[in-house]
Amino acid sequence: MKIGIFGGAFNPVHYAHLAGADQVRERLGLDKVVFVPSGIAPHRKIMGAEPHERYEMVSLAIRGNRRFEISDIEIKNNGSKDKPAWSIDTAKLLAKKYGRKTALYFIVGSDEALALSSWKESEKLLNLVRFVVMTRPGYEIGKLSGGLKKRLKVINITALDISASVLRERIKKGLSVKYLVPPPVEAYIRKHGLYRL
């Protein structure tokens, strides 16, 4: 079995996340992609929505796609203030859950790939999972060192230049995010007053 692991803040989840994950799944012949919303991120503070709200938005966004699943593994097991969410820990837990016969493909955007060498135990992580990098406008994979670049599978996806930070700013200003996020996600944001402050 081949499973894609797509982690991130998803703050909020949007169409670029969904389209990218689907294109990677299709290109690599993955059986499914598991979305893993982060708990407490070790490198940055996540503003605007609580972990359970981001989890719910992803659940709403992927509903109806049998090739997409969601996991609360980071929120539940390593997403507290005392123990931030590290990718190496998530990868170990998922490798144990799915077993040796499952190949795990860790999906990241090119912005995250450029910072990969600074990740906790990045070398162990690279040996545990296969890294797949989705191209993202404005981030050049060519900047990676040759040795690291050879260990990553780069997938050129159809560029949807949507940024969660821009979406949060639009919502804060009272502007529309219609056609940028799935309708159930837009409704959830509106119902719970997210990103308004």
Q: Which of 6-10, 67-71, 193-197 has the lowest mean pLDDT?
A: 193-197
Tokens of 170: 């639009």
Give the per-residue pLDDT at 93.
92
CB 94 within 8 A of CB 69: no
Q: Is residue 131 part of a domain?
A: yes
pLDDT of residue 139: 66
3-state secondary structure of 116: helix
What's the residue count for the chain? 197
pTM of the predicted structure, to 2 decimals: 0.91
pLDDT of residue 78 exceeding 60, the answer is no
Q: Is residue 166 part of a domain?
A: no
Of 18-22, 35-39, 78-82, 173-177, least confident by mean pLDDT is 78-82
Answer whether residue 167 is part of any domain: no
**Domain-located, residue 189:** no
* Sequential DSSP letters for 129-170: SEEEEE--TT--GGGS-HHHHTTEEEE--------HHHHHHH
* Token digits of residue 110: 């090119």
Q: Which CATH number goes with the domain that contains 145?
A: 3.40.50.620
pLDDT, mean of residues 34-41: 86
* 23 within a domain of the structure (yes/no): yes
135 domain residue, yes or no:
yes
Domains held by the chain: number: 1
CA dist 59 and 29 (Å) reads: 23
Cα separation, 163 vs 150, in Å, equals 28
Residue 105 sits in which domain range?
Answer: 2-161
CA dihedral 51, 56, 60, 64 (to 10 degrees): 100
For residue 90, is it within any domain? yes
